[in-house]
């Protein structure tokens, strides 16, 4: 196969971000843009050159190798199973599904054909600042990391929360609240740097009446290697101050990832830190497609297998449990 013929299933808010990122995956052609809402399918088709289709079934007649599933969480399982059945390589947006039983069904369906790639498209895996920070840490720039901090306090963007009927406000459709949804992009980098999370303790709250799940999370995570991190994610009600996305503290210094995309190294040379890298979160989406393309066309292993993403779901769920029990909760049962 020379080029990858991709169908984009779900032409909503995130699809335009992916369409832009796909321009950096030079061997992938968008052949179909699929959405039951015709104007959304047509809009994405006009951006990508694909054909607008009303359903995955219709699009399959065009000849697809792979699909990108960019639909609300409660539709992930149905469309993933339909795609596997049709022999597609599949890139599925996070989280894999709304609950672990559904994730297991997806994983076992994917495992039936090992010649096909199944990617769980967690873009934080390819976040350039995180990759730069991890490299520095691996090189010993701040010594042994003993603690870290991840912070995300952001208002609801209109594109993702268009109105009070948004599926994100329904616990059934979304599978929870911000811990699972936005939180996964902050939990993944912590896991990439510090390893697996054993147990968590947290408080959760609801700042938005219309949202059934939590919109406030403050938590502590304990990792298998003995380190701890704080992880906070809040769907802001008002204006917010700029805080770093991440801070890693080691025995020799610190690394901070700012919201402006800088990676600052504090190693005692400059009290304001030295900017060692400047990246852009938006480039993480291109990373998704470059990795997927290389896995499908060149047989390269994915940076992270789909199963790995269960760590974000389990961590989010354990934090929510801890919010009720007021106890430390184990992530892996």
Neighbours of 140 (CB within 10 A): 11
Select 170 or 228, whichever has its Cβ closest to ligand NAD: 170
Peptide bond into 181 cis (omega under 30): no
The residue sitting closest to ligand NAD, measured at its beta carbon, is: 12
**Interaction between residue 12 and ligand NAD (CB under 6 A):** yes
Minimum Å gap between C-beta 268 and ligand NAD is: 36
Q: Which stretch binds ligand NAD (CB under 6 A): 36-44, 99-107, 126-134, 232-240?
A: 36-44
Minimum Å gap between C-beta 143 and ligand NAD is: 32
**Interaction between residue 81 and ligand NAD (CB under 6 A):** no
- The binding track of 167-196 with respect to ligand NAD, each residue x by CB under 6 A or -, is x-------------x---------------
**Interaction between residue 14 and ligand NAD (CB under 6 A):** yes
**Pairing mode of beta strands 145-154, 66-69:** unpaired
DSSP structure string for 143-193: -SEEEEEEEEEE---TTTS-STT-GGG-HHHHSSSTTTTTTHHHHHHHHHH
Strands (E) located in the chain:
4-9, 28-34, 51-53, 66-69, 89-93, 118-121, 145-154, 197-205, 216-223, 228-235, 246-250, 254-257, 262-266, 274-278, 329-330
Cβ atoms 201, 141 nearer than 8 A: no
**Interaction between residue 70 and ligand NAD (CB under 6 A):** yes
Select 77 or 181, whichever has its Cβ closest to ligand NAD: 181
**Interaction between residue 143 and ligand NAD (CB under 6 A):** no
Q: Which stretch binds ligand NAD (CB under 6 A): 64-72, 106-114, 270-278, 299-307?
A: 64-72
Give me the phi and psi of 228, to 5 degrees please. Answer: -125, 160
**Interaction between residue 314 and ligand NAD (CB under 6 A):** no
**Interaction between residue 262 and ligand NAD (CB under 6 A):** no
**Interaction between residue 9 and ligand NAD (CB under 6 A):** yes
E strand or H helix at 324, and its extent? Answer: helix 310-325
Minimum Å gap between C-beta 329 and ligand NAD is: 23
Q: Which residue in the set 77, 93, 199, 291 belongs to the binding site for ligand NAD (CB under 6 A)?
A: 93
Select 9 or 320, whichever has its Cβ closest to ligand NAD: 9
Q: Which stretch binds ligand NAD (CB under 6 A): 9-17, 21-29, 127-135, 215-223?
A: 9-17
Phi/psi zone of residue 17: left (φ > 0), alpha (ψ -120 to 50 degrees), beta? alpha
Neighbours of 315 (CB within 10 A): 29
SS3 state of residue 264: strand
Displacement of CA 308 from its chain's centroid (Å): 12
- Binding region for ligand NAD (CB under 6 A): 9-15, 34-37, 40, 56, 70-73, 75, 93-94, 123, 160, 167, 181
């Amino acid at each position: 196969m020379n080029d990858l013929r991709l169908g984009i299933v779900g032409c909503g808010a995130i699809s335009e971000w992916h369409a832009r990122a796909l321009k950096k995956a030079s061997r992938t052609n968008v052949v179909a843009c699929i959405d039951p809402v015709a104007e959304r399918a047509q809009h994405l088709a006009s951006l990508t050159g694909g054909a607008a289709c009303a359903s995955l079934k219709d699009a399959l007649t065009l000849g697809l190798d792979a699909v990108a599933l960019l639909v609300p969480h409660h539709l992930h399982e149905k469309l993933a199973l339909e795609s596997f059945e049709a022999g597609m390589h599949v890139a599925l947006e996070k989280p894999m599904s709304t609950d672990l039983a559904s994730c297991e069904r997806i994983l076992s369906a994917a495992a039936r054909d090992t010649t096909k790639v199944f990617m769980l498209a967690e873009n934080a895996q390819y976040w350039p600042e995180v990759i730069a920070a991890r490299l520095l840490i691996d090189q010993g720039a701040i010594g042994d990391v003993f603690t870290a901090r991840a912070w995300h306090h952001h208002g609801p963007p209109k594109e993702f929360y268009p109105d009070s009927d948004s599926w994100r406000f329904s616990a059934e459709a979304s599978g929870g609240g911000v811990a699972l949804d936005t939180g996964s992009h902050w939990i993944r980098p912590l896991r990439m740097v510090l390893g697996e999370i054993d147990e968590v303790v947290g408080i959760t709250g609801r700042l938005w009446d219309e949202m059934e799940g939590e919109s406030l999370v403050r938590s502590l995570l304990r990792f298998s290697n003995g380190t701890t991190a704080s992880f906070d994610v809040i769907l802001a009600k008002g204006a917010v101050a700029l805080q770093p996305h991440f801070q890693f503290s080691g025995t020799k210094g610190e690394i901070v990832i700012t919201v402006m995309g800088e990676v600052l190294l504090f190693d005692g040379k400059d009290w304001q830190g030295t900017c060692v890298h400047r990246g852009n979160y938006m480039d993480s989406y291109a990373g998704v497609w470059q990795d997927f393309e290389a896995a499908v066309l060149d047989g390269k292993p994915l940076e992270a297998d789909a199963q790995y993403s269960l760590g974000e779901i389990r961590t989010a769920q354990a934090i929510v449990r801890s919010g009720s029990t007021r106890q430390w909760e184990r992530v892996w049962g």
